[in-house]
Structure 1
Amino acid sequence: MRTSFPFTAIVGQDEMKLALLLSAVDPRIGGVMVFGDRGTGKSTAVRALAALLPPIPVADGCIYGCVPGESNCPAPERHRGGKAMMPVPFVDLPLGATEDRVVGALDIERALGAGEKAFEPGLLARAHRGFLYIDEINLLEDHIVDLLLDVAASGENLVEREGLSIRHAARFVLIGSGNPEEGELRPQLLDRFGLSVEVRTPTAIADRVEVLKRCDAFERAPAAFAAEWEKAERATVRRIARGRRAVDGVIVPDPILARAATLCGAVGADGLRGELTLMRAGRALAAFDGAKAVTAAHLDRVAPMVLRHRLRRNPLDETGSTVRIERAIGELRAA
C-alpha cells in the first residue's frame, strides 16, 4: 500500500490546512476553494488529509459506499450482509471528464453481454463520504461545475437517462484549486464554496530548505518518514474525531451571530450565505479547539476564509479582499 505524505509534516500553508481540517470536522461548511501557485502542496495536503482519517465502515459488497444498514441504496442486491472497512475516498476528477463519467451512465458491457439495463456509477458515487478534488477547476466546463456544486449541496445524485432513473447518496467535501492567472471562476459559482484560501510559494529561505529536506526524506524512505510523524498524525486524528462528536453541541451566542452579520454587512457580502458559513466554520473551529461555545476570536480567525471570495468589487477601493476583511475586523474590535 502506498504511503501518503503526512499531513502534519507539510511546511507552512497554515490557512489551507486549517480550512481542510474544518471541512473534515463539519462537511456542511461547503467545501474549499484553493487559489495559488503551482507546486505549493495543494493536492498533497488534500491527499494527506484523506489518508490521515481512519477507515470508514461500509455495507459489504456495496458499490455506492453506503453506511451499513442504510435503507436507500439503489443496489441492495449487491450487499452481502455485514460490514467492511475502506479508506476514506479521495477522487481526483480530471479536466477532460465527461458528464457520464462524473454522474454515471448505462453499463454498456452488461447491456450488450447479458441484455441487462444496469447503471455504472460515476466519480460522484466513488467520492461518497470522502473528498472530490478538482485541480484547475477554473478550466473545467461550466455545466460540470454547476452539476458538482448542486450535488455537493444536496448530497444526492439523480441520474435519468437511457431509460434509467437512479438516485444515490453523494456526500463529499468538494475541494477545488486553481491559478487565477489562467482564468477566473464565475462569481456565482465561487460563492457556492464554503471557504476560499490563498497559498503562495514560501519566501523565507528557512521554510524552503525545510520543504526540501522533508520531501527528500519522504522520497528516500516513505515508511520511515511517516513513522516519525505518526504521533503528530494520531493527535490530529483525535482532535478531528473529538470535533466531529462535539460540533453539533457547540453554542453560538446571539452576540456572535450579531458580530457575523455586522462583519458581512461591513465588507459588503451579498446574500446570507456568508453569515451561515461564518457560523458553521466558527462552530467547527470551536469544536476542533475543544471549546463549548464560539467566541469572537474563533469568528475572526475564519472570517477571511469565509468572506474573501464573496466581496463586491469596489472601484474606489483597490485594496485586496483580505485587507478589507482584516480592516473591518479591526474596526469591530475597536468599537
Structure 2
Amino acid sequence: MSIIKDITRPIFPFTAIVGQEEMKLALILNVIDPKIGGVMIMGDRGTGKSTTIRAIADLLPEIEVVEDDIFNSHVSDYDLISDSVKQKLEQGQDISTTWIKVPMVDLPLGATEDRVCGTIDIEKALTEGIKTFEPGLLAKANRGILYVDEVNLLDDHLVDIFLDSAASGWNTVEREGISIRHPARFVLVGSGNPEEGELRPQLLDRFGMHAEIRTVREPSLRVQIVEQRNRFDSDPYLCLQQFQNQQEKLRNNIVRAQRILSGVTIDYDLRVKISAVCGELDVDGLRGDIVINRAAKAFAAYNNREKVEVNDIKQVIVLCLRHRLRKDPLDTVDSGSRVEQVFNSTFL
C-alpha cells in the first residue's frame, strides 16, 4: 500500500481500460518491439486515446539511465548512448546511473521545428568554440514514448521529422555548418479524428500499425466504462490497488516478451504467405511485409512462444495493412475486411 501512496500523480491503470482492444494490442506490441514503427490511432473524440497511451507508459518498468544525461543514455547499448557518454566510456571514466520512469513526451500542437529537434547556440559555438545544444522533445523522448495528438493537423515537414527519427533512432541538428547527432529511439504514437482529415498516404504508410477505435455503442459496456472512471476519480489509490496484480502480470509479460523476442522465429512458408497477401492486396513497397513479420514475432513473444503460428499473423495483419491499401471511394467493403478476406483465402 505504501508503494501506491508514493505515486504523486495517479494515472488510470492500463488493465482497467474497458474495450478498445485494437489500440491496446498495437501499443503493447510496439512497446515489446519499437522497430515495428509506431502506431497511428484514428477514432472518435472522447474514446480514451490519451488515457490509454499515458497508461501504457506508466505501466512499463523503470529504465536505467546515465545520471545527468539529457538523452536518457543507456549504460551499455551503443545505439542508445550520446556522444558525450561514449567519450567518457572510451576514456575509462566511471559512469553513475539512476532509474527513471519510461519517458512519456506529449507534443504540443503548435510546436516548432526547434522545439522538436533542439537548437545549437551558434554564438557560443563561434565565439567560444563550444557546442552548446539545447535539447528538444526528440532528445527527451529517447527510450520512451512520443505522443503526437491531432497528428493529421500538423505540418507534413514536422511529421516527416518524427518518422525519420523513429525509423533511424537518431536525430541530427545542423545549423550554420555545425552538426550534433543524438540517439532518439522511441515508440511514436499518433492520434487523430478522421473527421478532421487523414494524413497523406505516403506519411500514413510509414506508421507501422494503424488502429481504428469507435465509440462503444453497447449500453452495458458504456455503463461499465463510466463506473470505472468514476471509481478512479473518487479514489484513485484504491483503484490502483484493485488493479495492482493485473498491472504486475501484464508488466511481467511485456518484460519477458522483450527478453525472448530476439529468439523468436517464423517459418519460410509463413513468410511467403505474408508476402502473397501483400501482393494480392497490391500494397506498395515492402514495409507491409516487414512490419507483419515483426509484429507477428512480438505477438508470439507476448504469448511466451518462440515460434510464430498462423494465429499470431491473423491477430496483427489488419493492424499492419489496413492503412497501406489504396482507397477506392466506390468500394463498400472496408479495408480491414478486405485484408481478412485475402488472409483467409491465402492461409486457411
Contact 2:273–2:347 (CA under 8 A) maintained in structure 1:
no
Deviations 1:220-256 (A, max 9, x none): 1111101100000000011101100111101100111
- 1:164 Cα shift? 3.4
Contact 1:68–1:82 (CA under 8 A) maintained in structure 2:
no
Within a 5 Å distance, the mapping from 1:324-335 to structure 2 comes to 324-334=338-348
Which stretches of structure 1, 4 residues or more, deviate above 4 A after TM superposition? Answer: 69-72, 77-80, 107-111, 114-117
Aligned to 1:295: 309
1:305 aligned onto 2:319: yes
Contact 2:310–2:347 (CA under 8 A) maintained in structure 1:
no
Q: Is the partner of 1:309 in helix, strand or coil?
A: helix
Aligned to 2:181: 167
- 1:74 Cα shift? 3.5
Within a 5 Å distance, the mapping from 1:229-248 to structure 2 comes to 229-248=243-262
- The 3 A distance-change label for structure 1 pair 21 and 264 is same
Q: Among residues 19, 25, 33, which one is paired with 2:40 in the alignment?
A: 33
Aligned to 2:53: 46
Q: How many residues align?
A: 334
Separation (CA, whole Å) in 1 of partners of 2:11 and 2:220? 24
Q: TM-score, normalised by structure 2?
A: 0.91
Contact 1:60–1:80 (CA under 8 A) maintained in structure 2:
no
Q: Among residues 152, 155, 159, which one is paired with 2:166 in the alignment?
A: 152
- 1:157 Cα shift? 0.5
Separation (CA, whole Å) in 1 of partners of 2:331 and 2:197? 23
Aligned to 1:73: 82
Separation (CA, whole Å) in 2 of partners of 1:121 and 1:101? 8
- 1:25 Cα shift? 0.6
Aligned to 1:8: 15
- 1:200 Cα shift? 0.6
- The 3 A distance-change label for structure 1 pair 267 and 163 is closer
Separation (CA, whole Å) in 1 of partners of 2:46 and 2:129? 48
Q: TM-score, normalised by structure 1?
A: 0.94
1:201 aligned onto 2:215: yes
Separation (CA, whole Å) in 2 of partners of 1:225 and 1:304? 33
Q: Is the partner of 2:45 in helix, strand or coil?
A: coil
Percent identity over paired residues: 49
Aligned to 1:23: 30
Separation (CA, whole Å) in 1 of partners of 2:244 and 2:50? 20
- The 3 A distance-change label for structure 1 pair 203 and 108 is farther
Q: Among residues 125, 129, 148, which one is paired with 1:134 in the alignment?
A: 148
Separation (CA, whole Å) in 1 of partners of 2:65 and 2:32? 20
1:83 aligned onto 2:97: yes
Separation (CA, whole Å) in 2 of partners of 1:58 and 1:117? 23
Within a 5 Å distance, the mapping from 1:73-112 to structure 2 comes to 73-76=82-85, 81-107=95-121
Deviations 1:178-227 (A, max 9, x none): 11110110100000000001001100111110111111111111111011
- The 3 A distance-change label for structure 1 pair 120 and 331 is same
- 1:259 Cα shift? 1.5
1:60 aligned onto 2:67: yes
Q: Among residues 287, 292, 302, which one is paired with 1:278 in the alignment?
A: 292
Separation (CA, whole Å) in 1 of partners of 2:11 and 2:330? 47
Separation (CA, whole Å) in 1 of partners of 2:346 and 2:278? 12
- 1:106 Cα shift? 2.9
Q: Among residues 231, 255, 262, which one is paired with 1:217 in the alignment?
A: 231
Contact 1:59–1:69 (CA under 8 A) maintained in structure 2:
no
Deviations 1:251-308 (A, max 9, x none): 1001110110111122221111111111000000000001121111110110110000
Separation (CA, whole Å) in 2 of partners of 1:224 and 1:167? 45
Any gaps of 5 or more consecutive residues in structure 1?
none
Separation (CA, whole Å) in 2 of partners of 1:165 and 1:271? 32
Separation (CA, whole Å) in 2 of partners of 1:163 and 1:25? 38
Contact 1:74–1:166 (CA under 8 A) maintained in structure 2:
no
Contact 2:65–2:97 (CA under 8 A) maintained in structure 1:
yes
